[in-house]
């Protein structure tokens, strides 16, 4: 029977020009390669080489065989690659989220519950999240609205509440609460990658000037160093709240978002994992 190994060897011979060189490249002995190529010729029923006493040269059939071998081997490599990708996916939990903070919450919980699994997380638009969950690109998604769909489980997760983070000397710092309208005319620091919060920014904050920072560390440094107001939320505060800041809640309805976790039924256990572990907080 035709062996893939023989085809690999044939290609090596074609590449290196001599059996000796190919054998060395393949880490086998010359005689072994000689025999293997003879066998291949038998299997295919054609001589692939023109045999001079001291040299083998690919003949027309040999060149054809090399070409064909390339096709077969790339099909085989494709198979191996796709199977490997699938195997990897079995060891990976892909999380998709519509906002950053819930994602930061979820991924450590998962990796604690599934230490042997690789956890990947990325933000995406709600539509893409839903599609991705159905198609298997994501095993768990965080949405800002419950998802009612056959085969999909959806549970309320956390509520994120927006605050203005102010230096104590700021005029608004003594307020119990503010509305977004109170912030009109302010210059604020803003971290990018807002996810669904982007909508709030686009629609309700036209009267605010923003200094946008895309790097997390630079953003933290900026906040510590400046007296400009910024935003924070009940969730972001868990991860190193900045010093010397007063957080005043924002009362507008849009400043509070309730997040939901959705999984396909066959990954129900992921939900349990998150909720179980969440109680530790």
Cα–Cα distance measured from residue 255 to residue 236, given in angstroms and rounded to the nearest whole number: 14
Q: C-alpha 23: how far from its chain's center?
A: 41
Which of residues 73 and 194 has its CB atom nearest to a second copy in the complex? 73
Residue 25 Cβ, how far from DNA at the closest point, in Å? 12
Binding of a second copy at residue 50 (CB under 8 A)?
A: no
Which of the ranges 19-27, 70-78, 83-91, 237-245 carries the binding residues for DNA, by CB under 7 A? Answer: 19-27
Q: For residue 101, count CB atoms less than 10 angstroms from its CB and return exposed for 0-12, middle for 13-18, buried for 19 or more.
A: buried
Binding of a second copy at residue 72 (CB under 8 A)?
A: yes
Which of the ranges 27-35, 74-82, 116-124, 148-156 carries the binding residues for a second copy, by CB under 8 A? Answer: 74-82
Other CB atoms within 10 Å distance of the CB of residue 194: 17
Cα–Cα distance measured from residue 155 to residue 158, given in angstroms and rounded to the nearest whole number: 10
Residues with Cβ within 8 Å of 60's Cβ and at least 6 positions away in sequence, in order, are: none
Which of the ranges 76-84, 219-227, 228-236, 269-277 carries the binding residues for a second copy, by CB under 8 A? Answer: 76-84
Of 19, 141, 223, 235, the residue at the interface with DNA (CB under 7 A) is 19
Cα–Cα distance measured from residue 184 to residue 207, given in angstroms and rounded to the nearest whole number: 5
Q: For residue 201, count CB atoms less than 10 angstroms from its CB and return exposed for 0-12, middle for 13-18, buried for 19 or more.
A: middle
Q: Which does 120 bind (CB under 5 to 8 A by kind): a second copy, DNA, none?
A: none
The count of residues interacting with a second copy (CB under 8 A) is 27
Q: Using CA of residue 82, residue 88, residue 92, residue 95, what is the dihedral sign? A: negative
Cα–Cα distance measured from residue 211 to residue 86, given in angstroms and rounded to the nearest whole number: 43
Length reported for the chain: 281
Binding of DNA at residue 201 (CB under 7 A)?
A: no
Cα–Cα distance measured from residue 72 to residue 53, given in angstroms and rounded to the nearest whole number: 31
Binding of a second copy at residue 57 (CB under 8 A)?
A: no
Cα–Cα distance measured from residue 36 to residue 21, given in angstroms and rounded to the nearest whole number: 15
Of 35, 82, 199, 266, the residue at the interface with DNA (CB under 7 A) is 35
**Mask 4-23, x = binds a second copy (CB under 8 A)?**
xx------------------
Q: Which does 4 bind (CB under 5 to 8 A by kind): DNA, a second copy, none?
A: a second copy
Angle between helices 30-44 and 4-16 (to 10 degrees): 120
Which of the ranges 63-71, 143-151, 205-213, 254-262 carries the binding residues for a second copy, by CB under 8 A? Answer: 63-71
Rounded alpha-carbon distances, angstroms, from residue 225 to 166, 169, 215: 12, 14, 15
Of 27, 53, 90, 127, the residue at the interface with a second copy (CB under 8 A) is 90
Residues numbered 104-143 forming contacts with DNA, rule: CB under 7 A: none
Binding of a second copy at residue 87 (CB under 8 A)?
A: yes
Positions touching a second copy (CB under 8 A) are: 1-5, 44-46, 60-61, 64-65, 68-69, 71-72, 75-76, 78-80, 82-84, 86-87, 90
Positions touching DNA (CB under 7 A) are: 18-21, 27-32, 34-39, 49, 51-56
């Amino acid at each position: 029977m035709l062996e893939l190994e023989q085809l690999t060897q044939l290609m090596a011979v074609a590449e290196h020009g001599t059996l000796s060189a190919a054998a060395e490249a393949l880490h086998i002995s010359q005689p072994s390669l000689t025999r293997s190529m003879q066998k291949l010729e038998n299997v295919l029923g054609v001589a692939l080489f023109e045999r001079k006493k001291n040299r083998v040269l690919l003949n027309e059939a040999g060149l054809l065989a090399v070409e064909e071998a390339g096709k077969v081997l790339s099909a085989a490599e494709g198979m191996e690659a796709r199977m490997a990708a699938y195997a990897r996916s079995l060891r990976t939990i892909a999380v998709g989220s519509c906002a950053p903070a819930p994602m930061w919450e979820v991924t450590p919980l998962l990796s604690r519950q599934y230490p042997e699994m690789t956890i990947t997380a990325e933000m995406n638009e709600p539509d893409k999240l839903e599609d991705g969950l159905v198609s298997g690109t994501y095993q768990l998604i965080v949405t800002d609205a419950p998802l009612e769909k056959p085969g999909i489980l959806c549970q309320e997760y956390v509520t994120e509440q927006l605050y203005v983070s102010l230096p104590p000397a700021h005029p608004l710092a003594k307020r119990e609460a503010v509305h977004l309208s109170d912030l009109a005319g302010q210059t604020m620091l803003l971290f990018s990658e807002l996810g669904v919060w982007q909508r709030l920014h686009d629609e309700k904050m036209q009267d605010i000037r923003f200094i946008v920072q895309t790097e997390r560390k630079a953003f933290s440094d900026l906040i510590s160093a400046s007296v400009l107001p910024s935003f924070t939320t009940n969730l972001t505060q868990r991860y190193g709240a900045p010093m010397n800041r007063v957080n005043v809640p924002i009362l507008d309805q849009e400043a509070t978002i309730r997040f939901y976790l959705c999984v396909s039924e066959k990954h129900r256990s992921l939900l349990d994992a998150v909720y179980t572990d969440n109680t530790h907080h």
